[in-house]
Amino acid sequence: MKPLFISLVILPVSALLAAQEPAVGGGPLTRHYRDGEALTYHMTATNDDWHYTADATGLVKKNAGGSYVEEFRWTAMTSNGQAVSLTPATAEFRQPLSLDPANMPSGPDLSKVEPRMVGPITDLMTFYVDLWLINRIGILRHAGDHFYVPNPQESSWADGTHVLVGKDHIDFDLNIQSMDQAKQTAVVVLHHVPPAHPSLQFPAA
């Protein structure tokens, strides 16, 4: 399989504006939440010969533990230029994500969504986990800062129905490429790299 190229457009760009005190970790990329804030994502991706777009809308709220989360629902998708009708189960699916360093990420339940939505759902989570990790560590603050995070755990992207076994094991190579304080923007480069001693276990060779 060829590499997956994804672009993500975020509306509105208000991550550095604020009404919440920073949680643990922190740094210039810390997400400052406002209760009730609305967000819209438009994702475009290419995987081998498959081109797709996917749209999601989110609303900021507090979870039962008092942490801020962004609860997303997927609203539209195209596959190779053709509009896709989302199944009722996918339309009802809600994906909680958060950049609050105190809120540990968890994988989404993929058992009820249609197979072609597994990619967009897990890709969006990947964006959040990568930036969450930078905020959690809290030491990457300037252009050129770099940190390598060895990861002891594997992760699964199986849905239990169409994909019975699907998992990976990656380390994280975190880099702040540039920061522009005047424009309130930053370029962050994160590499997912194979660990020196992967711990993947499969039921067959």
- Is residue 6 a contact partner of residue 52, using CB atoms and an 8 Å limit? no
Would you state the pLDDT for residue 21? Answer: 38
- Is residue 22 a contact partner of residue 90, using CB atoms and an 8 Å limit? no
d(C-alpha 182, C-alpha 78), whole Å: 36
Map out the domains of the chain as residue ranges.
Answer: 5-193
- Is residue 131 a contact partner of residue 99, using CB atoms and an 8 Å limit? yes
Highest mean pLDDT among 10-14, 23-27, 135-139, 146-150: 146-150
The pLDDT tens digits for 133-170 are: 888 888 888 999 999 999 888 888 787 777 888 888 88
Higher-pLDDT residue of 197 and 23 is 197
- Which band of pLDDT confidence, cut at 50, 70 and 90, is reported for residue 6? very low
**Helix, strand, or coil (residue 28):** coil
Radius of gyration of the chain (CA): 17
- Asked if pLDDT for residue 87 goes beyond 80, the answer is yes
Residue 115: closest CA among 56, 52, 70:
52
Query: Helices in 80-166 by DSSP H: which ranges?
Result: 88-92, 118-137
Phi, psi of 162 (to 5 degrees): -90, -30
